[in-house]
Amino acid sequence: MEKNMDIAVSVVMGSDSDYSVMEETVKILKTFHVSHEIFLTSAHRSPDRTSDFSRKAAERNVKVIIVGAGAAAHLAGVIASQTTLPVIGVPVDSTALNGLDALFSTVQMPGGIPVATMAIGKAGARNAALLAIRILSLTDAELHQRLTVYIDNMAHEVEKKHDDLILKSRL
Ligand SMILES: Nc1c(C(=O)O)ncn1[C@@H]1O[C@H](COP(=O)(O)O)[C@@H](O)[C@H]1O
């Protein structure tokens, strides 16, 4: 846990084995120059560390917590139960159930404790970063500008792909 730096987004993982998926979150946060940290903890294997992190995150000025976990993925919900910060969950496909287990255990939160749940795997990990960026850009004009450019580029990309496809179909 970083102590003296201003960290906007905490990227939490239940295991180092989740990093191959959660790296996608980190890449996007880096592209947008969003200050972030990586934090490894498990509600199951290190409950005290998880509680300590969750209870202190807001006072450390963290704004959004992204949590990637697979299997019986209780980590995002347990963190959300101990902070008022927005928590975004990424179900990681790390078992024989291909992430469905993690999806259900992340998304099916009891009423009162929300976890904004993304899609399974790398696409979800990327969207988690983009959702955090949308939240932060409510109060950060520069970040909002970068987000607008990103969205415009995506729209142009679709138009370009359309034109390429039409050309290809005429060959
Ligand atoms: N879902 C959780 C929690 C938790 O929710 O507390 N702790 C670890 N895990 C998940 O277990 C999977 C296997 O972990 P290992 O690879 O370490 O055995 C990982 O996807 C992790 O997120």
How far does the centroid of ligand 1 lie from the alpha carbon of residue 71, in Å?
Answer: 6
The residue extents of the domains of the chain are: 9-139, 141-171
Q: Which residues line ligand 1 (CB under 6 A)?
A: 14-15, 17-18, 42-45, 69-75, 92, 94
pLDDT band at 167 (very low <50, low <70, confident <90, very high): very high
Query: Could you tell me which CATH class the domain 9-139 is placed in?
Result: alpha beta
Residue whose tokens read 């990681």: 92
Task: Give the H or E element holding residue 49.
Answer: helix 47-56
pLDDT for 83 beyond 60:
yes
CA-CA-CA-CA torsion sign (70, 41, 52, 84): negative
Distance of alpha carbon 79 from alpha carbon 20, whole angstroms:
22
Q: What is the ipTM of this complex?
A: 0.99
How far does the centroid of ligand 1 lie from the alpha carbon of residue 50, in Å?
Answer: 13
| pTM of the model as a whole | 0.96
pLDDT tens string 126-154 = 999 999 999 999 999 999 999 999 999 99
How far does the centroid of ligand 1 lie from the alpha carbon of residue 32, in Å?
Answer: 28
**At 164, phi and psi to the nearest 5?**
-60, -40
Give the model's pLDDT for residue 2: 58
pLDDT for 54 beyond 60:
yes
